[in-house]
């Protein structure tokens, strides 16, 4: 596992985040849209409820006015110039002792005249009607006929929005139930107490309300869209930061799994993975492969004499020399304790020996000093194993290369230490 492999794993992991981010985004989108659609629906319901309440209020006002009129059997008003008497009443006019003429305004006529006055002021209009009207002016229109037929089936009220002359109107209608005071005019039509004899329709302009509702709808969804953008932006930023921290933590864990904590070199576990890869590659392409095993001479004596702290410094210093004097394709690892190992792919025998000798000399020249400034000579023994392409073709066990380097290292120690020995296949 090299850095490229680690980076490749990180890229794959980053791609694995995409479905998570997409799912989170969809949940947030649905949640926020649900909230704002709910707000829109609630707002629309409240406005429509207010319109309906307004229509009912108009209806009840005229019903109470009609009832007051009917309770008194109609109301007489002075008949002024141009005023027409109700042609559907018997003897609608009376004359007072002073010679003034008064004409009777029954509930139906009063309703029509109040409606004309309200419509003239642009407030609302209402119309009394029935399926069997006495007055041709009370013939129902399409909306009213639909409502009256529903009232016959037991429906209590009926309303709808309709567009007329590019203007939106709200229409409401409720039934008129026959009462005792109604029979004086409607008994001859066969009505009885409790019968539905017709209804009153109310109509008023709601174009401004519709316009405001559309503007409010736009505002709600614009605010919803802005909220979604901001919230998704914040969450994306949080996720990116989380991904970055997790990636750094994962990278550190992966490095800890393959790196030696003290020397910052690869550890033994990683070296075995790498030597297997290089062994197979060298066999496949017919390339030589070399391994150098290194041991610090008399390391136990250094620890016993100067302490483990100085021993650690020796190992750290040696690791630095190894890293700075090896090629990029080479793999340098701490094999265990004071032992190190280097894997050198595609290098000839002379190159391997030259590298090992160079490292030996640099370590001997470097030395180390104690905290008191006392110089301590440091030397290393090195065993190199060189497997030619022909030998690799026959060999099947990569560990034979390590064993050969270990055997060469043993020979270097046996021959006096601070030297390089090579096993050549």
The percentage of the chain sitting over the pLDDT mark of 90, rounded to a whole number, equals 43
Of the ranges 86-100, 340-354, 378-392, which one carries the lowest mean pLDDT score? 86-100
pLDDT above 80: residue 179: no
Does the pLDDT of residue 184 top 70, yes or no? no
341 compared with 80, residue with greater pLDDT: 341
Q: Answer whether residue 208 shows pLDDT above 60.
A: yes
Predicted local confidence at residue 138, as pLDDT: 83
Could you tell me the pLDDT band of residue 111, with boundaries at 50, 70 and 90? confident
Compute the average pLDDT of residues 298-308: 92
15-22 mean pLDDT = 75
Q: Which of 24-33, 234-243, 259-268 has the highest mean predicted lDDT (pLDDT)?
A: 259-268
Q: Does residue 191 register a pLDDT over 60? A: no
**Average pLDDT of every residue of the chain:** 86
Question: How high is the pLDDT of residue 72?
Answer: 83
d(CA 327, CA 306): 33
- Is residue 292's pLDDT more than 90? yes
Across 260-288, average pLDDT: 94
Mean pLDDT of 373-395: 92
Higher pLDDT, 129 or 191: 129
Q: What is the mean pLDDT of residues 32-55?
A: 88
pLDDT band at 185 (very low <50, low <70, confident <90, very high): low
The mean pLDDT value for 81-86 works out to 83
Tell me the pLDDT tens digit for each residue of 345-361.
999 999 999 999 999 99
Average pLDDT over residues 399-420: 96
* Lowest-confidence segment of 130-144, 280-294, 303-317, 345-359 by average pLDDT: 130-144
Domains of the chain: 268-424 (3.30.70.270)
pLDDT at 188: 54
Confidence band for 193, pLDDT divided at 50, 70 and 90: low
pLDDT at residue 170 tops 90:
yes
pLDDT tens per residue, range 215-236 = 888 888 888 888 888 888 888 8
pLDDT tops 50 at residue 1: no
Banded model confidence at residue 31, pLDDT cuts 50, 70, 90: confident
Q: What is the pLDDT of residue 223?
A: 87
Please report which confidence band the pLDDT of residue 104 belongs to, taking 50, 70 and 90 as the band edges.
confident
Summarize pLDDT for 148-160 with one digit per residue, the tens. Answer: 999 888 899 999 9
Lowest mean pLDDT among 12-26, 225-239, 400-414: 12-26
| Of residues 279, 274, 313, 309, the one with CA closest to residue 296 | 313
């Amino acid at each position: 596992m090299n850095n490229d492999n680690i980076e490749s794993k990180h890229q794959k992991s980053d791609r694995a985040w995409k479905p998570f981010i997409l799912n989170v985004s969809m949940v947030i989108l649905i949640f926020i849209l649900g909230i704002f659609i709910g707000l829109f629906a609630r707002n629309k319901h409240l406005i429509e409820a207010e319109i309906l309440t307004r229509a009912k209020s108009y209806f009840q006002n005229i019903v109470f006015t009609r009832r007051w009129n009917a309770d008194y059997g109609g109301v007489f008003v002075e008949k002024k110039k141009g005023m027409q008497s109700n042609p559907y009443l018997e003897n609608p006019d009376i004359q007072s002792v002073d010679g003034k003429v008064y004409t009777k305004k029954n509930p139906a006529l009063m309703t029509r005249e109040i409606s004309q006055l309200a419509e003239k002021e642009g407030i609302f209009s209402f119309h009394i009607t029935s399926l069997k009207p006495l007055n041709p002016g009370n013939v129902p229109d399409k909306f009213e006929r639909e409502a009256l037929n529903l009232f016959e089936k037991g429906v209590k009220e009926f309303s709808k929005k309709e567009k007329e002359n590019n203007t939106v109107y709200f229409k409401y209608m409720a039934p008129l139930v026959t009462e005792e005071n109604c029979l004086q005019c409607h008994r001859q039509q066969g009505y009885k107490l409790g019968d539905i004899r017709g209804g009153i329709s109310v109509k008023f302009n709601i174009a401004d309300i519709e316009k405001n509702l559309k503007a409010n709808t736009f505002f709600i969804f614009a605010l919803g869209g802005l909220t979604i953008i901001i919230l998704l932006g914040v969450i994306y930023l949080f996720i990116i930061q989380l991904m970055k921290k997790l990636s750094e933590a994962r990278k550190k864990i992966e490095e800890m799994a393959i790196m030696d904590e003290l020397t910052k070199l690869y550890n033994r576990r990683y070296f075995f993975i790498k030597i297997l890869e290089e062994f197979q590659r060298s066999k496949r392409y017919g390339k030589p492969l070399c391994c150098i095993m290194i041991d610090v001479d008399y390391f136990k004596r250094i620890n016993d004499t100067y302490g483990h702290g100085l021993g650690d410094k020796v190992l750290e210093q040696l690791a630095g020399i190894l890293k700075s004097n090896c090629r990029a394709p080479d793999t340098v690892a701490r094999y265990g304790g004071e032992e190190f190992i280097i894997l050198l792919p595609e290098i000839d025998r002379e190159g391997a020996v030259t590298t090992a000798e160079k490292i030996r000399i640099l370590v001997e020249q470097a030395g180390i000093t104690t905290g008191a400034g006392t110089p301590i000579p440091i030397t290393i023994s090195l065993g190199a194993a060189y497997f030619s392409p022909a030998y690799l073709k026959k060999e099947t066990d990569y560990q034979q290369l390590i064993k050969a380097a270990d055997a060469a290292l043993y020979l270097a120690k046996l021959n006096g230490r601070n030297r390089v020995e090579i096993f050549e296949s």
